[in-house]
Chain A
Amino acid sequence: DTAVSQTPKYLVTQMGNDKSIKCEQNLGHDTMYWYKQDSKKFLKIMFSYNNKELIINETVPNRFSPKSPDKAHLNLHINSLELGDSAVYFCASSQDISVNQPQHFGDGTRLSIL
């Protein structure tokens, strides 16, 4: 059973379009995250949610809007896609918001903007 699953795995789209990435975890965790990994492989936190409540919003453009309908799901909607949005986006979850809890990652969504 996949612990943290993201869809789609690949997303190729035109500049200016709106797209969504979905994430689900079946670990019973309270906290979920979105990370962005750029071409230089740096992984940076974008958002974290704890029990559907936004905890971290790391100065991400307003075009990015996370939504957590329940604590097992955290989706990411991106409006007006730009070339600089091309990256791999990872979803992760942990038992709670403490960094002492290990984070479990999905396999990533590779977003390419044409």
Chain B
Amino acid sequence: KQEVTQIPAALSVPEGENLVLNCSFTDSAIYNLQWFRQDPGKGLTSLLLIQSSQREQTSGRLNASLDKSSGRSTLYIAASQPGDSATYLCAVGNFNKFYFGSGTKLNVKP
């Protein structure tokens, strides 16, 4: 059974800092991996989706990498801003469902 782990559970950084969020998964037979953002009291917003054949995806200040063989993905956020404060979840796609990690709660201090 697929298990997804995210470390750290919480992270606090000053504004402007570059940061990396980590996601690991136990079964490397995945279709894709997706990073989501969750704001308090809100649903999830998809940030980046990496297919199993890809190594990375970029959107603006965000860059997600995937190393399927080692069961790892990272989300790199450049020049962090207070508006980036949220919980970030990764989800591994296997056939027709996603397995989610418990998220990293990010706080970017002004």
Chain A contact residues, CB within 8 Å of chain B: 4, 40-45, 48, 55-56, 58, 90, 92, 97-100, 102-108
CB within 8 A of A107: which of B32, B43, B87? B43
Residues of the A chain whose Cβ atoms lie less than 8 Å from the Cβ of B28: none
Chain A interface SS verdict (over half): loop
Residue interface bits B87-105, CB-to-A below 8 A is 1, else 0: 1010101111110111100
Find out whether the CB atom of B43 lies under 8 angstroms from the CB atom of A45. no
Give the interface size bracket for B toward A: 20 to 34
Find the A residue at minimum CB distance from B39.
A107
The interface of chain B, by Cβ under 8 A from chain A, is 31-32, 34, 41-46, 49, 51, 87, 89, 91, 93-98, 100-103
Per CB-CB distance, the 4 closest pairs between chain A and chain B, nearest first, are A105-B43, A99-B93, A43-B100, A105-B44
Quick one: given A41-B87, A42-B100, are A99 and B94 in contact (CB under 8 Å)?
yes
Known contacts: A43-B100, A55-B96, A56-B97. The answer to whether A100 contacts B43 by CB under 8 A is no
